Amino acid sequence: GAVVSQHPSWVICKSGTSVKIECRSLDFQATTMFWYRQFPKQSLMLMATSNEGSKATYEQGVEKDKFLINHASLTLSTLTVTSAHPEDSSFYICSARKTSGHYNEQFFGPGTRLTVL
Amino acid sequence: KNQVEQSPQSLIILEGKNCTLQCNYTVSPFSNLRWYKQDTGRGPVSLTIMTFSENTKSNGRYTATLDADTKQSSLHITASQLSDSASYICVVTPRSTTSGTYKYIFGTGTRLKVLA
């Protein structure tokens, strides 16, 4: 199998606080994980690519100092939203890349709903 | 520019009916095309995956087709069920010229609602 979990599934925080979201590949090792953000009725937008043991690669327009990514092990990547503001409220989804045969498949987590008050 | 467009944007059908969702892409060269189902408030779940050399792939009541010449794909859902209500996303992976990229290019999605 290829199961990816996220924790927490939802979080509500006050403006100005920091929130950490965890993404775990439960039954496989993932050297690469991806973080996405999804606004209502829109598709997923890639924020950054997380590589185990090295710095994340951020997409254009994504502030790396605001969205801190740490991929400390082959099964865990974390996204920390620093000094969160209401406009950061969104659905955050991670995926983990697994090589299977000749496919490189991304398996998605269930998502984390962040609401900033 | 690599783009993936889907139509219709939304669709309402009665339970038991069939429907077909469309995906047009400009990604070239491309490695493979996937269809995902995303329930509200959940992450996407893979339905089918096709390489550029395949032209059809089935998964239960879901059948995907691919025409690499016209750069079009469709997802056909047979005998729809209430649980099919979800967003369906077409995702294209470019054939990467650099190792380790493997980025997905997401379509705009089709929101399907199945009514009893």
pLDDT in tens, B94-108: 876 554 456 889 998
A57 touches chain B (CB under 8 A): no
Mark yes or no for CB contact A97/B106 under 8 Å: no
Q: Is A87 helix (H, G, I), strand (E, B) or coil?
A: helix
User: What pLDDT is recorded for position B110?
Assistant: 97
pLDDT over 80 (residue A3)? yes
pLDDT in tens, A53-108: 888 999 999 999 999 999 989 999 999 999 999 999 999 999 999 876 656 789 99
One-letter amino acid of B89: I
With CA atoms as reference, the chain A residue closest to B88 would be A43
Which of B10, B39, B89, B106 to mutate against chain A (most A CBs within 10 Å)? Answer: B106
Residue pointed to by tokens 């920091």 = A18
- Mean pLDDT confidence for B7-35: 94
Biggest distance spanned by C-alpha atoms of chain A: 45
Q: State whether the Cα torsion B102-A96-B106-B60 is positive or negative.
A: positive
Mark yes or no for CB contact B100/A108 under 8 Å: no
pLDDT over 90 (residue B75)? yes
- Mean pLDDT confidence for B40-62: 93
**Number of CB pairs, chain A paired with chain B, less than 8 A apart:** 46
Q: Say what percent of chain A tops pLDDT 70.
A: 97
User: What pLDDT is recorded for position B96?
Assistant: 67
Q: In this structure, are residues A88 and A81 in contact, taking their beta carbons and an 8 Å threshold? A: yes
pLDDT in tens, A52-61: 888 899 999 9
pLDDT over 80 (residue A33)? yes
- Mean pLDDT confidence for B68-95: 95
